[in-house]
């Protein structure tokens, strides 16, 4: 399975996302969100990681803005807990998702 870094401001969401992914066998690390964090990741030893935007921003053009900012995938909240691990796996594989 994959090594996944979650960046999330909400501790409740972090617990939920971590639990759902660990149950599917992924190794999960969590960080609190912050401006400029994506750029720090891209300049770190973790620069090869695929980085997914998991966001409540689901208006027209938000996906394109996230991808232009350097994210590798885009998933919108709220999530369906049954399909979330599969969506993450598909996004990590580079599949374009319309959620």
**DSSP state letters, 36-93:** THHHHHHTSTTTTS--EEEES--STTHHHHHHHTT-SEEEESSP-TTTHHHHHHHHHT
Range of the domain at 36: 3-92
Domain presence at residue 54: yes
Looking at the DSSP assignment, which residues form a beta bridge with residue 27? 3
The answer to whether position 98 is within a domain reads no
Domain assignment present for 62: yes
97 occurs within a structural domain: no
The total of structural domains in the chain comes to 1
User: According to the model, what pLDDT value does residue 15 have?
Assistant: 93
Is 75 part of any domain? Answer: yes
- How far apart are alpha carbons 31 and 51 in whole angstroms? 13
The answer to whether residue 99 is domain-embedded is no
pLDDT per position as a tens digit, 11-41: 999 899 999 999 999 988 888 877 788 888 8
Contact 72, 47 (CB under 8 A): no
Is the residue at 11 inside a domain? Answer: yes
What CATH number is attached to the domain comprising 40?
Answer: 3.40.50.2300
Residue 37 domain flag = yes
pLDDT digit string, tens, across residues 34-65: 778 888 888 888 777 778 888 888 888 888 88
The reported pLDDT for the residue numbered 97 is 65
pLDDT at 63: 86
Predicted confidence at residue 93, as pLDDT, reads: 80
């Amino acid at each position: 399975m994959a090594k996944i870094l979650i960046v999330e401001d909400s501790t409740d969401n972090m617990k939920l996302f971590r639990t759902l992914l660990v149950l599917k066998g992924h190794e999960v690390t969590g960080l609190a969100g912050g401006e400029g964090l994506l750029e720090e990741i891209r300049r770190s030893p973790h620069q090869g990681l695929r980085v997914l935007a998991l966001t409540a921003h689901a208006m027209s053009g938000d996906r394109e803005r996230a991808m232009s900012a350097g994210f590798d995938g885009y998933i919108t909240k709220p999530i369906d807990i049954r399909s979330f691990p599969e969506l993450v796996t598909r996004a990590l594989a580079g599949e374009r998702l319309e959620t």
